[in-house]
Amino acid sequence: MKKYITISFLLFVLSVNAQTVQSPSKQITLKFALSDGKPTYEVSYKNKSVILKSYLGIKLKGARDLDDKFRIDSIRQVTVNETWQPVLGEQSNIKNNYNQLTVALYQALADRKMNIIFRVFDEGVAFRYEFPKQPNLNYFIVSDEVSEFNLTSDHKTFWLPGDFDSQEYAYTESKLSEVNTDNVDKNNGINLKSIAGKYVVQSPLMMKSADGLYINIFEAAVVNYPIMHLDLVPNEYKLTSRLVPNAIGDKAYLQTPCVSPWRTVMVSDDARDIVSSKMILNLNDPSKIEDTSWIKSMKYVGIWWEMHVGKSTWDFAGSQNAQNAADGKLIPSGKHGATTENTKHYIDFAAKNGFDGVLVEGWNVGWEDWFGNWKENVFDFTTPYPDFDLKAVSDYAKSKGVKMIMHHETSGSVANYERHLDRAMDLMKKYGYPAVKSGYVGRIIPRGEFHDGQTMVNHFNYVAQRMAENKLMVNSHESSRPTGYSRTYPNYIAAEAARGNEFNAWSNGNPPMHETILPFTRLLGGPMDYTPGIFEIKMSFYDKTKTAQVHTTLAKQLALYVTMYSPLQMAADLPENYERYADAFQFIKDVAVDWQDSKYLEAEPGDYLTVARKDKKSENWFLGAITDENARATELKLDFLSPNKKYKATIYQDGVDADWEKNPKSYVIKTIQVTSKSKIKLSLAKGGGTAISFVPIN
Amino acid sequence: MKKYITISFLLFVLSVNAQTVQSPSKQITLKFALSDGKPTYEVSYKNKSVILKSYLGIKLKGARDLDDKFRIDSIRQVTVNETWQPVLGEQSNIKNNYNQLTVALYQALADRKMNIIFRVFDEGVAFRYEFPKQPNLNYFIVSDEVSEFNLTSDHKTFWLPGDFDSQEYAYTESKLSEVNTDNVDKNNGINLKSIAGKYVVQSPLMMKSADGLYINIFEAAVVNYPIMHLDLVPNEYKLTSRLVPNAIGDKAYLQTPCVSPWRTVMVSDDARDIVSSKMILNLNDPSKIEDTSWIKSMKYVGIWWEMHVGKSTWDFAGSQNAQNAADGKLIPSGKHGATTENTKHYIDFAAKNGFDGVLVEGWNVGWEDWFGNWKENVFDFTTPYPDFDLKAVSDYAKSKGVKMIMHHETSGSVANYERHLDRAMDLMKKYGYPAVKSGYVGRIIPRGEFHDGQTMVNHFNYVAQRMAENKLMVNSHESSRPTGYSRTYPNYIAAEAARGNEFNAWSNGNPPMHETILPFTRLLGGPMDYTPGIFEIKMSFYDKTKTAQVHTTLAKQLALYVTMYSPLQMAADLPENYERYADAFQFIKDVAVDWQDSKYLEAEPGDYLTVARKDKKSENWFLGAITDENARATELKLDFLSPNKKYKATIYQDGVDADWEKNPKSYVIKTIQVTSKSKIKLSLAKGGGTAISFVPIN
């Protein structure tokens, strides 16, 4: 954090019951008011109402609620304008500029204090509850939070069912009044579903009003608190916070002094303001890691997609086959993917093509009986299968200058994982694994807990913190979706926590619009390990009876490396597939994953996204453009390029006959010379995309 | 295990629906029968009915119950007669002799198998459910167990309320028909109570019939299963298993092949057969620890009682005072017990008087805010207070030949403890602590779990196992009560898990009969760290306003070292108190804690107990005799002594004017010469006792 300008002034407004605060641009206005002793707020954008009068409050278990009978004790306003540098990110410098209003409330009948803090940025507002240290509120249990988001009309929305255990759904695009989780196709490859009700949706919730406002409701800095879903009253367009309960129905156990997460409402008439916003990151605490030199971006390959397509297996002896072992000795099925030999093959491929890392899943014993039975002691995270020689593999990787990526599948048995975490990290350090991909497939143990409850939020954050103490990086899958905590623990390098590319391998898959929505929702909270780069689009390639396929063209798979920001990116397909399409593969080899700057050129949620990014370590730029199920033609100005440079632009685009469904592998690569004054025309196929690398010539 | 004789024969009795099996002595008869497809059993002793026809069965969640529609597939009988050697124990050799009946049941409508295994010993019967590996039963959830104990009449019983979180009650002596937990005094110093109902009692449940039968209902080998309490139908004298639920009401998560714990019914017309029984240990698996050379008995002193009596504190800065720290820096209150200096004083005292170890509680940060608020992250188990120098203390102890005993108070936050366990053990090994006393005061986290549920049973066993892997011994307090697992993990050297001596320091205390019952109940499951040896009986010694007191005479405190078997025994009082009563203290210095043999000479639950034990390492014998609130005179034959030896007997007895309440510190020490042909008369005061050491002269 390099610059810090604050102006603060105190208003003693004991006789005043309302106060407004504006964004630095003055285009957003937030009004706080006490209405009959109850806290309320309203938000408008360019004088258009965005959030109508909405109530705020916290309900407590076994104590009087903190939602009414308040008076205002003081109101304080502060302006912050600073710039900070993320360790890894979409840009080298992030501006954090907002006006803050702190409303100190006093509830006389219980002699208790609660503050509500509002921050108004140029792209939206945020608020949180603050519980100061005080005699009559020390330990307390949140039984509910009543934060309302009272919308103005029947907006179009991209929603996921409010599921306490999974975000791995495809988005439904509908009006608010048409939301009904009963209508979501449940035959979608998600094994564990805990949908909270007909009218419960997930946040981040992306909306668009009839008059062209883009509105996004989300949260930031979820620490020691459950995830917030949203209860909808469909015909009133009203959303209310729905906190995820624990095993006995409580929401959060807190002790003063403490704060709730931030609740955010972003709004703009330009969708690019939402998708490029750093508000969620800004609302998180700065890095708690002092020395971040060991935190590094990674492009990686791995023994993973070959299991998804059925070429090999995670298990050594056959799935669900542990009980068939004679004398407890597993009999190899011959299909095990994570063998020493196969791993060396991937290491060779990574070294040859300049990848940083190799992930190996299925290396450790337990996969014969790991899934779907709420089993507690599945994996020990330290015992390799007999055909996986940890030492040989890590020595070989080291000799080739490649890093190994550890894999910890917990199968949801978090109690078991926490018991083994220290030993698991010791093993990583012993063999020089700098990062781990963790997985949480299955019902949580401690039993009764959900993936999105306070217990699990704390677990994910705990793992990030412990890994940081050991200088290890984490990439969690099936975790709760991030809310910007990677600012605070930048070793929490990526997460899945949404419907990833893998669903295309064996389910009804991800519809072509999927990747145009994620940057407006999931990615606001932090990088996603989406695992792009699938070249063999149709699973019939492996097995003629299979109908599953990736719902994009091959060229769009390349564009995703730019549109889906992550400092950890997988080249997910098999080495032999890349070797057959070496010219297209070149883009994956070239593309950067850590950036000096990012320019969102075009954006419309559910339709298209075009973004250009500048490599942090060079003068190279990369551009990704994607579209949904509709073909798209567009013309782009290249004025983001440095003015006095010539660039060789290598354009990876859909072939003229390309179509995600009928002809996905049709692509064309061409090279042109451009400058910052050039314009280029792009032509994206149905479900298609374009990827471009710009390399300075002079 | 040195001798093993088995005779086995198979009975194919597909047309038979009943089968009996007798104890080796033939005095106990167990009859199994299928009654309309439902399993039942009956027990008689010397032709008197003990258990009337009682049903057996398991109820499942989401699957058909395993309690009816059975047919018998086969019945198999085996006789076992073996002798094994415990690492530490009441005797060097333990005989394990029983007749076993295995009834293989088949439930045709669900195509499932379940076996019930009965073992009949000379002092009682045991049965367990066995679930073989089978196609139609793999993972399953026990929603209830219906094991009935249908008693014959309105026996006298010594009962504790069926509390899922605590056994730290005084016993109520009443008829079965008079059991009602509402009538138990709740102002008894127990902070966390989770009593399951009016007519729920704990096991072990000790009873006596009007015609002189001693009957005890308990369980053995509780592994991966919750603790069993007992539901009573008071007027029918019928008890049914009441398993402790988890956070969402389930009882046990199991996977075939597996077994339930053993349910036990001991019976004899001689109370000594119950109190000396090794049936519970015999029903547990042999030691899983190969090299047990590092498992050693210990007599210890510690910084502990001085906190109970108010001389010093666990905390460094004042109880519940953490939030008052300025800048997070704790300000010492000056009353902290666990200082380096004080610890050295105890080490000196231990070295001078031949004790093996020194326990220090309150050595680690966290005690300022540790209790009663369901706080998750209380202790880290590795950070000492600034006035406790771990290295200096352990170096000093080593130089004096004394071992330090670690202390881990979890405050019930087991999730937090499990996260830190590996680091905590690393610290113990670094500083050479061979053993830990652990504590579980407070509501359990994971929230919703009880101390007695499957989750916690697994935790206690997990800690024993992990400590064993690190060659460390455990003494757990506020754990679930043991059921003989110390045979399997002999490093689980002791536990509290009952109302210990500490309650005498600050509550209504333990009535004089308390210690005459524990050997018939709690101690059947394993050694108890009762912490005897309090010489300053009345707390008014420390503070004139205090009325609490130990409910025994001083002499009885000495006798407890013999009557309350444990290989880990504390001399609980303060060094300065022992120095003032050096002659009486001599017995504590002399008494052994690991035994070649034990002879229970007299026993009546709730009234008195006399036991003689022979030191494992010498020819010395020690005798302890205790009584309840009534004075008692008795004459003992010393025929347990070796026939050809003369012994110097040092007798520590109540003074003629001694009385636990009015004059507890009156004692007399005399020395006489005896042989195995001698008789001695004992005279025990109200709440009194006698301790004797016998040392061979020739």
**DSSP assignment string, A444-503:** -BSTT--TTSHHHHHHHHHHHHHHHHTT-EEEEESSPPP-STTTTSTTEEEE--S--TTH
Average confidence score pLDDT of chain B: 96
What is the Cα gyration radius of chain A?
25
Q: Which of A136, A447, A454, A466 to mutate to test the interface with B (most CBs of B within 10 A)?
A: A447
B423 inside 8 A of chain A by CB: yes
Smallest Cα distance from B208 to chain A, Å: 41
Mutation test of the interface with chain A: which of B251, B420, B422, choosing the one with the most A Cβ atoms within 10 A?
Answer: B422
User: B148, B502, B515, B604: which one is catalytic?
Assistant: B502
Asked if B447's CB is within 8 angstroms of A248's CB, the reply is yes
- Picking from B61, B447, B459 by the largest number of A CB atoms within 10 A of its own CB, the best residue to mutate is B447
Query: What's the pLDDT at B8?
Result: 52
3-state secondary structure of B529: coil
Can you tell me the distance from the alpha carbon of A463 to that of A472, in angstroms, rounded to the nearest whole number?
Answer: 10
Among chain A residues, CA nearest to B462: A419
Name residue B602's beta-bridge partners. Answer: B610
Candidates A59, A39, A41; CA nearest to A149 is A41
Contact B255 A373 (CB under 8 A): yes
Q: Which of A145, A168, A502, A515 is catalytic?
A: A502
Note the pLDDT tens digit of each residue in A81-136.
999 999 999 999 999 999 999 999 999 999 999 999 999 999 999 999 999 999 99
Taking an 8 Å cut-off on Cβ atoms, the answer to whether B373 and A255 are in contact is: yes
Q: Please give the Cα distance from A288 to B397 (Å, whole number).
A: 39
Test mutation, A61, A422, A457, chain B, max B CBs within 10 A: A422
The interface predicted TM-score (ipTM) is 0.95
Residue B679 region by backbone torsions, left for phi larger than 0, else alpha for psi between -120 and 50, else beta = beta
CA–CA distance, B628 with B608 (Å, rounded to integer): 6
Beta-carbon separation of A375 and B139 below 8 A: yes
> What's residue A325's pLDDT?
59
Do the bridges between strand A647-654 and strand A667-674 make them parallel or antiparallel, or are there none, so unpaired? antiparallel
Closest Cβ opposite residue A447 in set B133, B246, B255: B246
Residues 456-485 in A contacting B (C-alpha not used; CB under 8 Å):
458, 462
**Mean pLDDT value across residues A197-221:** 98
Taking only the tens place, the pLDDT of each residue in B73-98 is 999 999 999 999 999 999 999 999 99
**C-alpha dihedral sign at B531, B535, B538, B541:** negative
- Which member of B253, B418, B449 has the closest CB to residue A418? B418
Parallel/antiparallel/unpaired status of strands A205-208 and A156-159:
antiparallel
The pLDDT value given to residue A319: 76
The backbone torsions φ and ψ at residue B58, rounded to the nearest 5 degrees and listed phi first, read: -125, 135
The answer to whether B127 and B263 have CB atoms below 8 angstroms apart is yes
Cα separation of A279 and A525, whole Å?
Answer: 9
Touching check for B248 and chain A: CB below 8 Å? yes
For B8, the token pair is 């086995």
Nearest CA-CA distance, residue A327 and chain B, Å: 14
Verify whether the Cβ–Cβ distance A247 to B422 is below 8 Å: no
Report yes or no: A249 at the B interface, CB cutoff 8 Å. Answer: no
Query: What pLDDT is stored for residue A321 in this prediction?
Result: 66
Written as one letter, the residue type at A632 is R
Å from B374 to nearest chain A CA?
Answer: 9
Integer CA distances (angstroms), A573 to A9, A188, A403, A502, in order: 57, 22, 19, 11
- pLDDT tens for residues B516-544? 999 999 999 999 999 999 999 999 999 99
Q: Which residue type occupies B623?
A: L
How far is B538 from B533, CA to CA, in rounded Å? Answer: 13
pLDDT of A377 higher than 60 = yes
* A247 to B448: CB separation less than 8 angstroms, yes or no: yes
What is the mean pLDDT of the segment spanning B452-472? 98
Contact (CB<8Å) A248/B423: no
B419 reaches A (C-beta below 8 A): yes
User: Which pLDDT value is given to residue A1?
Assistant: 44
CB-based contact A455 B462, cutoff 8 Å:
no
Closest CA to A276 of A263, A285, A266: A266
Q: Is A529 exposed, middle or buried (0-12, 13-18, 19+ CB in 10 A)?
A: buried
Rounded Cα gap, residues B519 and B605, in angstroms: 8
A-B contacts (CB, under 8 Å): 69
Token pair of B188 as six digits: 């008894």
Judging contacts by C-beta atoms under 8 Å, the chain A residues touching residue B448 are 246-248, 448
- The pairs formed by B540-543 with CB atoms below 8 angstroms and a separation of 24 or more are B542/B309, B542/B310, B542/B311, B543/B310
| Residue numbers in B near A419 (CB within 8 A) | 418-419, 421, 462
Yes or no: say if B401 and B413 are a contact pair by the CB < 8 Å rule. no
- By percentage, how much of chain B surpasses pLDDT 90? 95
- pLDDT tens digit sequence for B18-69: 999 999 999 999 999 999 999 999 999 999 999 999 999 999 999 999 999 9
| Chain A contact set for B421 (CB, 8 A) | 419
Let me know if A502 is a catalytic residue: yes
Q: Taking the CB of residue A47, how many other CB atoms lie within 10 A of it? A: 7
Cβ-nearest to A246 among B323, B423, B447? B447
pLDDT of residue A61: 98
- Looking at every residue in chain A, the average pLDDT score rounds to 96
Residues of B in contact with A421 (CB under 8 A): 419
Tens of pLDDT along B164-183?
A: 999 999 999 999 999 999 99
DSSP class of residue B566?
A: -
| CA separation for the pair A435, B129 (Å, rounded) | 46
pTM, two decimals, is: 0.96
Give CA separation, B352 vs A513, B340, B355, B400, in Å.
Answer: 80, 18, 8, 9
CA B351 to chain centroid, in Å, comes to: 29
Q: Got the DSSP string for A226-281?
A: PPEEEEEETTTTEEEEEEPP-TTS--EEEESSEEPPEEEEEEESSHHHHHT--HHH
- Whether B1 has a pLDDT exceeding 50, the answer reads no
